[in-house]
Amino acid sequence: MSVIVPIHGPAIAPAPAPERVGVLLVNLGTPDSCDTKGVRIYLREFLSDPRVIENQGLFWKLALNGIILNTRPARKAKDYQKIWNHEANESPLKTITRAQAEKLTASLGDRGHLIVDWAMRYGNPSLRDRIEALVAKGCTRLLVVPLYPQYSAATSATVCDQAFRVLRELRAQPTLRVTPPYYRDPAYIDALATSINAHLATLSFEPELIVASFHGMPQAYIDKGDPYQAQCVATVEALRDRMGLADDKLLLTFQSRFGFDQWLQPYTDKTIEALARKGVRKIAVVMPGFSADCLETLEEIAQENAEIFMEHGGQEFTAIPCLNDSDAGIQVIRQLVLRELQGWL
């Protein structure tokens, strides 16, 4: 009687899933709610990042946990409530960034192997959550798009830091690319000029000058080699050339200073006050460092700085919307993405 012995060969691995490419738009972040608790959670994460506050020593930790997180959240919650998207129960930054991702997807056409998603560096949806989701969908290549025209260690670099922290924990890492800053990209400068002119055309008055306000940072960060200030200057110079404006008709300023250290100058609020005191009665403010409207543009500039201008003699003030999810704004992002995806599509 013969016995048939089965032969066990090597296990056959399942066929690999089709490779996909993920594009992840990333903006700074937002609280999940506009109450004190939500803002406190957000500020704790944001201000605990050593890229944002470089000296995370004992003094800072005592100040953060003993003073700042016990006083600042309630004040900032009131500011968020002024600009909150109550219908969707989220901040405008979240609403706009989602729309940017959706419109970018539509503008790229039917590409079954390309997936566009969005995330926040601080708050939700988190970088970890969205990177893991893209990997789960079969993305073996990932393009991270920090939505900051000008590079800074406190913005663009911390996005990269967090992305690599997530990848460090993955056995099968996707190949990673990161888009560069686009502070003087012709498409970006053209989009800014088009947006400014379109907004000015809707006004019942003609501004005497335009203030270009960028988010500030401590002067010490620039002294250590951060290129942010130089890139802001380059943006304004390119925009002046594109719009044919003299230096005194498009001013460069910096907003949102925090703490007691010296920050980049001239300060936006002090400049706007000084302009009103000198007799300037009509101004416009544009925020070229922000890809989407947020607390710093909708509340700090459009409300707080407008009040400063009026209180010191100004008569007409307008805040020019960011590029947001406008056709021109999406075209800037689309061009940037397609350029960096060369060889992957």
Residue 80 CA to residue 7 CA, distance in Å, equals: 69
CA distance 126 to 198: 34
The answer to whether 316 is a known ligand-binding residue is: no
Angular region, 95: left φ>0, alpha ψ -120 to 50, beta rest = alpha
CA 61 vs. chain centroid, Å, equals 26
The number of residues making up the chain comes to: 345
- Which residue type does 112 have? G
Other beta carbons within 10 angstroms of residue 243's beta carbon come to: 15
Task: Report the alpha-carbon distance of residue 341 to residue 245 in Å, rounded.
Answer: 35
- Pure H helices in the chain: 36-47, 58-63, 69-83, 92-108, 127-136, 158-168, 186-200, 219-223, 228-243, 268-277, 295, 306-311, 327-340
Residues 260 and 262: their CA atoms lie apart, in Å, by 7
Q: Find, among 95, 92, 116, 112, the residue nearest to 104 by Cα.
A: 116
Q: In whole angstroms, what is the distance from residue 120 CA to residue 24 CA?
A: 10
Please, are residues 205 and 254 in contact by the beta-carbon 8 Å criterion?
Answer: no
Is 8 annotated in a binding site? The answer is no
Binding residues for Fe(2+): 215, 296
Binding residues: 215, 296
